[in-house]
Amino acid sequence: MPELPEVEALAAYLRERAVGHAVERFEVSSFSALKTYDPPPSAVAGLVITSAGRHGKFLDLTFGDDLHLVVHLARAGWLHYRDAFKSPLPLKPGSGPIAIRVRLDDGSGFDLTEAGTQKSLAAYLVRDPAEVPGVSRLGPDALAVSRDEFAERLRSRRGQVKGVLTDQEVLAGIGNAYSDEILHVAKMSPFALTSKLTDEQITTLFDAMRQVETDAVTRSVGQKAAELKGEKRAGMRVHARTGLPCPVCGDNVREVSFADKSLQYCATCQTGGKPLADRRLSKLIR
């Protein structure tokens, strides 16, 4: 799933490539992806893209003065920028993985796509991003929060630190991949309880979060959209590296699997050498 660094990089790429261009056509192929109906997609035609930004993991494109396309790419969604489209014909409903196509006045544009059969990509055409339920519930951005606010937000939710870090109502922008990286840098178990973290541990975790997210944004911004996934994978220390050596100590990276996702960690660096129980409801090592 694209997280804060990748969405920031996509917004930066759109600022460079799309901002200043007028929309020729806004085409919807997957009507389940567009969650709003007022204003209609036709309202975007002729408007100039004036800015591109993000809210946590939500991408936000502004058309004209007050129309916003807010997109959550979910697990399998992506943005593909085209210098030119092969066909001038409008998309047909159900056009493969393409959910939405935006054609610009210079012949370029972009597709919002989603692979697989489990369709979760969500796009909202709104006058105010706060109209999007997921945006209105977001906590402070992970790259904007202060250390004291970070501590207050983290301790406001009792639970395992991995789950609290990825709760978008606590902090916006951190997902499964970068939470693994943050906890590895902080040398902290993903199952440590927020209620038991010391002030020193909170500071260490905050510093790790800023380091990991800032480094990832620095690596990602400036990359083309097509290159971002590879850049993300190349920069990972433990996430999605099960069985490979930890870059810090050389121990094998381990995994805990759940029903629909998994986490990766280094036992030597994070749990005193003790493997974590590989069941959600097991007694967990902290």
Written as one letter, the residue type at 77 is: G
| Confidence grade of residue 111 (pLDDT, cut at 50, 70, 90) | very high
Residue 172's CB is within 10 A of a number of other CB atoms, namely 24
The pLDDT assigned to 63 comes to 98
Give the confidence band of 226 by pLDDT, cuts at 50, 70, 90: confident
Give the model's pLDDT for residue 179. 98
> Over the stretch 234-284, which tens digit does the pLDDT of each residue have?
999 999 999 999 999 999 999 999 877 899 999 999 999 999 987 644 444
- Mean pLDDT, the chain, rounded, equals 94
Alpha-carbon span 66 to 250, nearest angstrom: 52
pLDDT of res. 282: 47
Q: Can you name the CATH fold of 147-283?
A: Helicase, Ruva Protein; domain 3 (1.10.8)
Name the residue with tokens 């969500």. 122
Q: What angle separates helix 199-220 from helix 147-155, to the nearest 10 degrees?
A: 110
pLDDT of residue 94: 81
- Where exactly does CATH 3.20.190.10 map onto the chain? 4-131
Give the least confident one: 89-98, 210-219, 264-273: 89-98
Grade residue 43 by pLDDT with cuts at 50, 70 and 90. very high
pLDDT in tens, 168-201: 999 999 999 999 999 999 999 999 999 999 999 9
- Mean pLDDT for 204-222 is 96
What topology does CATH give the domain 4-131?
A: N-terminal domain of MutM-like DNA repair proteins (3.20.190)
Mean pLDDT within 24-34: 94
Evaluate the CA torsion angle 286, 163, 56, 198 in order and state its sign.
Answer: negative
**pLDDT tens figures, 122-153:** 999 999 999 999 999 999 999 999 999 999 99
Q: Where in the chain is the domain with CATH 1.10.8.50?
A: 147-283
- 1-15, 112-126, 174-188: which range is least confident on average? 112-126
- Please say whether the beta carbons of 101 and 45 come within 8 A: no
Q: What local confidence, expressed as pLDDT, does residue 280 receive?
A: 47
Q: Which range, of 41-45, 65-69, 79-83, 255-259, averages the lowest pLDDT? A: 255-259
**Euclidean distance between the first and final Cα of the chain, in Å?**
27
| pLDDT more than 70, % of the chain | 97
pTM of the entire structure? 0.93
pLDDT value for 15: 97
- Long-range (24+ apart) CB contacts under 8 A made by 192-199 are 192/160, 192/161, 192/286, 193/158, 193/159, 193/160, 193/161, 193/286, 194/154, 194/155, 194/157, 194/158, 194/159, 194/160, 194/161, 194/164, 195/155, 195/158, 196/286, 197/154, 197/155, 197/161, 199/151
pLDDT at 119: 82
